[in-house]
Amino acid sequence: MTAIDDASVGVGASGAGRVPFPMRDRLHVPRERYFDRGFHDLEKRKLWSRTWQMACRLEEIPEPHDFVEYQICGQSVLLVRQPDRSVKALHNACRHRATQLEKGAGRLAGGQIVCPFHGWRWNADGTNSFVYGAWGFAPECLRPEDLRLRECKVELWGGCVWINLDPDAGPLREALHPVADLLDSIAIGNWQVKWWKEVVLHANWKLAQEAFMEGYHVPQTHPQLAGGLSVDEFPVDLNRYDIYEGGHSGFGRKLTGERYTSVDMLVLAGQLLSDGQDAMTLERDLTVFEPLRNKLGPDEDVGTAAADALRDHAKGAGIPWPDGLEDSPLFFGGEVFVFPNLFFLPMYNNCLSYRIRPYGDDPEWCRFEVWSLTTYPETEQRPRAQKLGRFDKDDSQYWGLIPMQDFSNIERQQAGLHTVGFEETRLATEWENAIGNMHVELDRRLTRD
Ligand code: FES
Ligand SMILES: [Fe+2]
């Protein structure tokens, strides 16, 4: 991956004075950015209402007339699959007296959107099909162009539906440069939902996601992933993020002989991920790795053997395997952060994904969703993707050890930000640069006219 020159993304972009609590450099984040009401309101006006954002996964609306509601900062948008398989994004308000038309997810009965108040109806494409007692309205109240449900910008990419509430927004692909290319190179569109869960956290959305933008916390927060070494002993060879324009960032870690010197180590590391989060490495991968214990010669490279075995298994099972997947820097684990709030953590032919957004209208609460994605045989019919539910952050029945460890710090950190005498966070140049990069881009968005 090629990173941008740090200096090419200006700190204190023109007009930064208009942002309350701006970034004065890339190394300090003023604490108010995580709880100040004025800052939150500015994000609503200048970020969420004008940025491309992932509204749903395509597997949520596989069939014509399937719909799902996406909520962001008081706005509600319906993503509706059309008979020609395209997707429309319709603002969720009746053109009569504004009642929200649909809630949650489902399939439009008879292909019609029906207002629950007075029964007006629309086709899946947003054209009005029925007004009850139409003769009782003045003609000027029922002009067809006024009755049509309002659309917002929508594009499909990476197995997801993306929306932008700004009618003048530029193309999605431009906004996702260069991370869209990175993810396309490992066929992001092949992944599908294995499971999907949500937690509500008492923390600002940015703070919550920053826990997943550095590996610096691993030895202290996840001791089992540090092989039993304490922070005093754990070698500081942590993942370094490449930062990009647009607030995006990522890293990929090519497996080296030093990391896994034996199949035992490979299997053990895989088990920690499989047992600890049921994502990135799955049971399926472990059953492919196990037989290597007896097969591998002393001089054979563990990583190469693992990749060959996974590829052979995929081809035999009819699982799509893009050309050169095993040569990607993301193949043995990595992360791609898509500004403002979406993560992909690919590994082998699987991926962990996160989406974080404000909850309600409160800067100190957020919704944190987690997906385990994988690649299924092409012939396998997958059920419509549904969220398993919203689970408490401490509920070990539903969350693996790794996410519970991560969640455990976030609310404590949010509380700590209110401490008298604490002014700003301080970031490691080497390990926490992706966080500073996100905030600098945020300031750029907040100062745009
Ligand atoms: S508010 Fe929807 S039909 Fe009256
Ligand atoms: Fe973590």
- Residue 378 CB neighbours (<10 A): 10
User: Across the chain, what does the average pLDDT equal?
Assistant: 93
Give yes or no for residue 130 CB within 6 A of ligand 1.
no
The CATH number of the domain holding residue 394 is: 3.90.380.10
Pocket probe for ligand 1: among 91, 95, 96, the residue whose CB has the most ligand atoms within 8 Å is 96
Give yes or no for residue 116 CB within 6 A of ligand 1.
no
Domain C-terminal end among 164, 196, 229 = 164
Cβ atoms of 272 and 228 within 8 Å: the answer is no
Domain C-terminal end among 141, 164, 187 = 164
- Which of 148-162, 211-225, 229-243, 359-373 is least confident? 229-243
pLDDT at 253 > cutoff 80: no
C-alpha 23 – ligand 2 centre gap (Å): 25
Residues 47 and 58 occupy one common structural domain: no
pLDDT at 317 > cutoff 60: yes
- Position 407 in a domain: yes
Residues 282 and 149 occupy one common structural domain: no
For residue 118, give Cα distances in angstroms to 78, 95, 100, 148, 293: 20, 11, 12, 16, 67
- Position 329 in a domain: yes
* Segment 21-51, tens digit of pLDDT: 999 999 999 999 999 999 999 999 999 999 9
Residues 220 and 351 occupy one common structural domain: yes
Return the pLDDT at 84.
98
The CATH number of the domain holding residue 138 is: 2.102.10.10
- Position 299 in a domain: yes
Ligand 1 atom, smallest distance to 116 CA: 2
Pocket probe for ligand 1: among 94, 102, 149, the residue whose CB has the most ligand atoms within 8 Å is 94
C-alpha 120 – ligand 1 centre gap (Å): 6
DSSP label at residue 151: B
For residue 362, give Cα distances in angstroms to 51, 73, 265: 19, 9, 45
- CB-based contacts of 419, cutoff 8 Å, min separation 6: none
- Domain count for the chain, please give it: 2
Residue ranges of alpha helices (H) inside 32-141 are 37-42
pLDDT at 5 > cutoff 60: no
Cβ atoms of 390 and 196 within 8 Å: the answer is no
Q: Which two tokens stand for residue 214?
A: 């550095």
- Closest residue by Cα to atom 1, ligand 1, is 97
Radius of gyration, CA atoms only, the chain: 24
- Cα 157 → chain centroid: 13
**Mean pLDDT across 307-317:** 96
Report the alpha-carbon distance of residue 417 to residue 411 in Å, rounded: 10
C-alpha 352 – ligand 2 centre gap (Å): 12
- Position 368 in a domain: yes
**Mean pLDDT across 282-310:** 92
- Position 1 in a domain: no
Return the pLDDT at 224.
87
Ligand 1 atom, smallest distance to 94 CA: 2
Residues 21 and 134 occupy one common structural domain: no
Residues 225 and 142 occupy one common structural domain: no
Residues 12 and 96 occupy one common structural domain: no
For β-strands 160-164 and 112-114, DSSP reports them as unpaired
Residues 257 and 331 occupy one common structural domain: yes
Ligand number nearest CA of 402 is: 2
Return the pLDDT at 296.
87
Give yes or no for residue 39 CB within 6 A of ligand 1.
no
Ligand 1 atom, smallest distance to 97 CA: 1
Report the alpha-carbon distance of residue 277 to residue 297 in Å, rounded: 31
Name the band, by pLDDT with cuts 50, 70 and 90, for residue 235: confident
* Segment 400-449, tens digit of pLDDT: 999 999 999 999 999 999 999 999 999 999 999 999 999 999 999 999 98
Ligand 1 atom, smallest distance to 132 CA: 3
Residues 343 and 202 occupy one common structural domain: yes
- Closest residue by Cα to atom 3, ligand 1, is 118
DSSP letters, 407-440, are: HHHHHHHHHHTT-TT--EEE--TTTSHHHHHHHH
- Cα 82 → chain centroid: 25
Return the pLDDT at 255.
60
For β-strands 192-201 and 389-390, DSSP reports them as parallel
Give yes or no for residue 120 CB within 6 A of ligand 1.
yes
Give yes or no for residue 131 CB within 6 A of ligand 1.
no
Residues 425 and 400 occupy one common structural domain: yes
More confident of the two residues 317 and 298:
317
Number of continuous H segments (helices) and E segments (strands) in the chain? 12, 20
Q: Which residue has the tokens 């029964």?
A: 119
Cβ atoms of 320 and 314 within 8 Å: the answer is yes
* Segment 71-116, tens digit of pLDDT: 999 999 999 999 999 999 999 999 999 999 999 999 999 999 999 9
Return the pLDDT at 298.
80
Return the pLDDT at 13.
47
8-22, 124-138, 290-304: which is most confident = 124-138
- Position 171 in a domain: no
More confident of the two residues 229 and 279:
279
| Domain that includes residue 99, residue range | 53-164
pLDDT cut 70: percent of the chain above it: 95
Residues 301 and 329 occupy one common structural domain: yes
Ligand 1 atom, smallest distance to 118 CA: 3
Return the pLDDT at 7.
42
Domain C-terminal end among 129, 164, 199 = 164
More confident of the two residues 174 and 269:
174
- Position 169 in a domain: no
Residues 47 and 74 occupy one common structural domain: no
Strands (E), 58-127: 66-72, 75-81, 87-91, 105-107, 112-114, 121-123
More confident of the two residues 201 and 299:
201
Return the pLDDT at 10.
45
Ligand number nearest CA of 119 is: 1
C-alpha 204 – ligand 2 centre gap (Å): 17
Residues 198 and 253 occupy one common structural domain: yes
C-alpha 139 – ligand 1 centre gap (Å): 17
- Position 261 in a domain: yes
